Amino acid sequence: MSTEMRVHLRRWLSFFAMAALIAIMTGPSGSNNAPVQGLTQSFAQPYSYFGLFRAQRWMIFFTFALVALGLQTLWRRSGGGVRARTAVLRQGFEAPGRRRATVLSAVVVVALVALFIPHLISNPGIQSGIVEQVLAYVILALGLNVVVGWAGLLDLGYVGFYAIGAYVTAWMTGRLPIAAPFHHPVSSFAAIPVAIVFTMLAGVILGAPTLRLRGDYLAIVTLGFGEIILVFSNNLTNVTGGSQGTNPYIPSFTFRIGGLKYLFGNVGYYFLVAGFVVVTIVLFRLLEHSRVGRAWTAIREDEVAAESIGINPLKYKVMAFAIGASVSGFAGAVTASQIGVVYPSTFSLYFSVNVLTLVIFGGMGSIVGVIFGSILVQGIAVYLRFYPPSGYQASDLYMYLGALLIMMMIYRPAGLIPSRRRRREIYQAEDGIGHEGDVLLGEQS
């Protein structure tokens, strides 16, 4: 077989594999006693009318695969460019020898586990618990990691942006006492970009004047911001609905194409949010190695030196803050549509501290660390919620997590899977090397 044919074959196969994957992801849930049932039904179940045709699910997805294949061919002809810029994403996969094997197998294992989780768990409560308590928190922690881990800023008002994202979604979909911005309430999916823009703006507005402040003052200002948002959401009853929450239910995401309609249930949300996690990882990995990422590192290590080589610290701090804010708002929007109600009681300081804990636990500045840290800690939280040991009460969780965190700080101060640079910073700071005055606040001189 010629190489060209092999390339073609590979492309076809990978696209049909992807179609099959989407079929599984959007298919029905399995159950504990018959886990394969979810898989088989993903293909076999007659589904819907697709345009004029009555089609089985698999036919629909394979049609999508064909379209995607065509688009990809066009894309290839239109030239490369992307390849060079995304080189960092392939680092692990293209590295020689053992490292490549490690990265590859880790990715495969994680992907397989992630793929089968919703088919092995039939309890819908646990399924949605995994989405809102684990996956959403992975995204939240990744966003806060940009602020705390990369730019070295302590943000204790992270929850404020999450709340804004959630309320924007409620507003856009017409679930607030105040009128929706459009005549016809939009879908909650369309609310996402709006929530991102709003929270990014909120981040800039809060960040631009306050990021001149040194670490501990910034912490206080952001703390105040979070509390103000909490007070507003509780007391501005005629805007937010007050402590009763929003009403009626914010619709779940739906997806329509042709005559095809897909309503995201627990499994759908699981894979959708997992997809968002992957997108976040990819974007942040690019960001980490970009010019912006290097500027953050420089500012964190020595702000005066960074200025002397032409980096505007304020600009990059505001950027980090706004990116973190918009990620938080994004998570707020997604969660609001999944849960259906926005309650002020969610937006307490504990929320921000919770996410900060995940970042510190996982390893500040380390994408991999933050992901695994969040999955582990939040996974434990979900597990304990659904399988409480005898005598366990919900609030005991924080006691256990606190103990876990103390142990971590003693035995692995740089976190579960620390970033290489961060670990060096912490140990060097202990030895008094460098200008890093305070490891957490990243405050200089």
Nearest distance, CB of residue 90 and another protein, angstroms: 21
Q: Kindly identify the residues of this chain, within the stretch 250-309, that bind another protein according to CB under 8 A.
A: 291, 294-295, 297-298, 301-302, 304-309
**Is residue 394 classed exposed, middle or buried when 0-12, 13-18 and 19+ CB atoms within 10 A define those classes?**
exposed
The residue from 19, 135, 311, 322 that contacts another protein (CB under 8 A) is 311
Q: Which stretch binds another protein (CB under 8 A): 141-149, 208-216, 336-344, 418-426?
A: 418-426
Site for another protein (CB under 8 A): which residue of 424, 438, 440, 441?
424
**Cβ 92 to another protein shortest distance, Å:** 20
Q: Is 195 or 295 the residue whose CB approaches another protein more closely?
A: 295
Residue whose entry in the numeric block shows the structure tokens 């009318």: 49
The angle formed by the CA atoms of residues 339, 384 and 132, to the nearest 5 degrees, is: 20
Q: How far is the CB of 434 from another protein (least distance, A)?
A: 4
- Cβ proximity to another protein, 137 vs 321, nearer residue: 321
> Is the bond into 96 cis (omega within 30 degrees of 0)?
no
CA-based nearest residue to 277, from 63, 436, 131, 168: 131
Q: Are 410 and 398 in contact (CB under 8 A)?
A: no
With respect to another protein, which residue has the nearer C-beta, 208 or 384?
A: 208
From 6, 110, 421, 430, residue interacting with another protein (rule: CB under 8 A): 421
Task: Name residues whose C-beta falls within 8 Å of residue 73's C-beta, 6 or more positions apart in sequence.
Answer: none
74 lies in the binding site for another protein (CB under 8 A): no
**Minimum separation from the CB atom of position 424 to another protein (A):** 5
How far, in Å, are 65, 67, 270, 362 from residue 50 at the CA level?
15, 15, 25, 45
Strand partners, 256: 261
Least Å distance, CB 142 to another protein, is 22
Q: How far is the CB of 311 from another protein (least distance, A)?
A: 6
**52 touches another protein by CB under 8 A:** no
Asked if 40 interacts with another protein (CB under 8 A), we say: no
Stretch that binds another protein, among 28-36, 53-61, 311-319, 379-387 (CB under 8 A): 311-319
Q: Is residue 425 within the footprint of another protein (CB under 8 A)?
A: yes
User: Which of the stretches 30-38, 375-383, 396-404, 432-440 binds another protein when contact is defined by CB under 8 A?
Assistant: 432-440
Cβ proximity to another protein: between 402 and 434 the closer is 434
Q: Within 10 Å of residue 290's Cβ, how many Cβ atoms?
A: 13
Report, in Å, the least distance between residue 283 CB and another protein.
22
Stretch 352-391: interaction string toward another protein, x if CB under 8 A: ----------------------------------------
Determine, following the binding rule CB under 8 A, whether residue 313 of this chain makes contact with another protein: yes
Among 124, 248, 259, 434, contact with another protein (rule: CB under 8 A): 434
CB nearer another protein, residue 178 or residue 305: 305
Cβ proximity to another protein: between 320 and 375 the closer is 320
* Least distance to another protein, CB of residue 23, Å: 46
Contact footprint for another protein (CB under 8 A):
291, 294-295, 297-298, 301-302, 304-313, 421, 424-425, 428, 433-436
